[in-house]
Structure 1
Amino acid sequence: MDKIIVQSEDFDLTTEVALAKASNSNIGAIVSFVGTVRDLESKNLNTMTLEHYPGMTEKSLKSIADKAKNKWELQSVTIIHRIGKLDVNDQIVLVITASRHRQEAFDSCNFIMDFLKTDAPFWKKESTSKSENWVKSRLQDEEKKKHWKNEN
């Protein structure tokens, strides 16, 4: 059972892992990743606002999950991505992959995050006491994604 959601509300890791685990009795490994708002360059970040294009975003997330499922034998994929105004240390994204074997769960979770960072249509605006700036894409995120294209 896959779960792909874009929401403003927070999520509960324990609840989501339990739901992923309950979806299939062949699961031998569950890997989760929780991304949080951080003050990356010590800018005294107050908030980060995430915007998206409804419909297109969910379609993109499903496509990323499908690519992972085509590459690995996964029993379950969960992607929950938050939107709206978030504070430092708030949860932004949850990715859970469940498979029969741990390496598939680890690799697929990394794969999904690498593609989320580059291919999902989210826009992030950082707000400090002095300014507001849209976050630009980072070359290192594109480089991480290339790893998966070269691995076959």
Structure 2
Amino acid sequence: GVPVGLGCDGSSSADTASLWLEARTAMLQGKLRHGAAAMTARDALEIATRGGAGCLGRVGEIGELSVGACGDLVVWSLDGPAFAGALSDPIEAWLRCGPNSARHTVVAGKPIVLDGAPVHGGLDEMLLCHRAIAAGMQSALDA
């Protein structure tokens, strides 16, 4: 069959660049078209991770946690009021009630965010630089 995946390409098409939003939308659209049981949160997660890897021809390399894979991982907390009634399936809770900030993020086996804070400093400076570049680009478009 044809691989099916989800993706987002950044702020040029969607300002949030959120794969979470794409997965949630896919799940809700599936339920809308085919009924409540048609598309589960786990189905959406599968399409967003392994499905995306399949579309890129990178099965076993990305989109999963396995020996030899890249080792990227994000951990979200299910604490707080948004998740207060989420008692049965953590993936369903995450997809329906999120998103929230990542508690931990690991890329290529290296921690990037721990306990909600970037491991490496300089985030404020990077954001200032980004805003200045974005403002310059917007000014050029408006001219």
* TM bracket, shorter-chain basis: under 0.3
- The normalised TM-score by structure 2 is 0.25
- The normalised TM-score by structure 1 is 0.24
The structure that has the greater radius of gyration is: 2
User: Which one scores higher on RCO, CA 8 angstroms, separation ≥ 6?
Assistant: 1
Larger fraction in strand: 1
Larger fraction in helix: 2
